[in-house]
């Protein structure tokens, strides 16, 4: 059993920027908080899928600080790999829609 926290996982996923690199940089800068909140809300099912592919069930905890004291199995390396894989799968335009910024996005140039 893995324990995870969606906000902590999103902040620590190296590939979170891959999601945002597909969007105009100014848009991401101006709306980063709303985008992160939306990404975090969409992240749980993607994390469940990524953990299951590695043979783990996952229990989500609400305290992100507790993640620093998580069990040693799975390893820190496995956590990083799962977070990165999950972040890679997150559709940036789904994040924009979840943040309710789909009407704002077209006002930004690529």
| 42 in Cβ contact with 94 (< 8 Å) | yes
Measure the CA–CA gap between 88 and 68, rounded to whole angstroms.
Answer: 23
For the chain, the structural domain boundaries read 2-107
- Does the structure show a pLDDT above 70 at 16? no
Tell if the pTM clears 0.75, that is, is over it: yes
Measure the CA–CA gap between 96 and 34, rounded to whole angstroms.
Answer: 9
pLDDT at residue 58, as a whole number: 92
Dmax over Cα atoms in the chain, in whole Å?
46
Query: Which residues have a Cβ under 8 Å from the Cβ of 21 and sit 6 or more positions away?
Result: none
pLDDT at residue 19, as a whole number: 83
């Amino acid at each position: 059993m893995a324990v995870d926290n969606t906000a902590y996982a999103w902040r620590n996923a190296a590939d979170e920027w891959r999601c945002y690199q597909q969007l105009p940089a100014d848009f991401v800068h101006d709306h980063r908080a709303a985008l992160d909140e939306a990404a975090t809300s969409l992240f749980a099912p993607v994390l469940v899928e990524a953990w299951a592919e590695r043979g783990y069930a996952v229990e989500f905890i609400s305290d992100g600080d507790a993640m620093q004291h998580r069990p040693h199995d799975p390893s820190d390396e496995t956590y990083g790999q799962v977070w990165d894989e999950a972040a890679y799968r997150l559709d940036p335009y789904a994040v924009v829609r979840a943040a309710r910024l789909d009407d704002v996005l077209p006002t930004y140039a690529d």
